[in-house]
Structure 1
């Protein structure tokens, strides 16, 4: 068994697509109209047939309280592996990305947490 798809709830799919592709560097995999929304996924350019991230509309009434609680408690909605957290932090910060946690070493793991502009905190991480 392996993970095929996971999702983050986004408040604006177009805005999310721009952030996740133009800023974070993912590539669009699927963009299929589904009523007023879309089945919109992105993947890592390093693994185009790997796990997809669904940029899921946050229209369900339970989503906003859930997202608000996570953000208020500083809990990331997702975690993405990078080769070098400080380098990625510097690259993203230069692009105007807001971080709620600067790079933090915790034993063999280094993390940082960013705001995806769509209502989520996202963690980046690397292990030594």
Structure 2
């Protein structure tokens, strides 16, 4: 007897917020807004920290990126291990990687991997100054 699994697509579930752990929320806010061009969406005081999210200027109702403090004891060793191995914590999509790389390089952003082809994407990796490597990708078919 064959086992048949039926699946339904649930159109109601989508990513609302995702986190990047940051060493300093103030520094992260400046970098993600002034350098990368994101816009603050939520900024709610929570004791010594904040619920601080940013969104893409072009999609202000889209997925929010929480600039989450690296307070948990497991966070920094995890981040340090990723950076030591050259692994990006997150991936952001751009329309023109070479133009974005030039703009960010001119703003002083340090890239650990310069633009290169990687399968279906053109990609580069930069240091967000807050303890993370971030990958930029441009879809080749775009």
With the shorter chain as reference, the TM-score category is over 0.9
Superposition TM-score, scaled by structure 1 size? 0.98
Question: Counting strand residues as a fraction of each chain, which structure ranks higher?
Answer: 1
Tell me how far apart the structure 1 counterparts of residues 119 and 125 of structure 2 sit (CA, whole Å).
Answer: 17
Q: Which structure exhibits the higher relative contact order, with contacts defined as CA atoms closer than 8 Å and separated by 6 or more residues?
A: 1
The aligned residue for residue 11 of structure 1 is 23
- The Cα of 1:111 is off from its aligned counterpart by 0.4
SS at match of 1:50: coil
Superposition TM-score, scaled by structure 2 size? 0.88
1:99 to 99, 106, 111: 111
Match status 1:60 vs 2:48: no
- The Cα of 1:2 is off from its aligned counterpart by 1.1
State the Cα RMSD in Å: 0.7
Unaligned 5+ residue runs, structure 1? none
The aligned residue for residue 61 of structure 2 is 49
- The Cα of 1:45 is off from its aligned counterpart by 0.8
Tell me how far apart the structure 1 counterparts of residues 119 and 18 of structure 2 sit (CA, whole Å).
Answer: 28
Provide runs of 4+ in structure 1 moved above 4 Å.
Answer: none
Over alpha carbons, which structure has the higher Rg?
2
The aligned residue for residue 121 of structure 1 is 133
The aligned residue for residue 69 of structure 1 is 81
Aligned length: 128
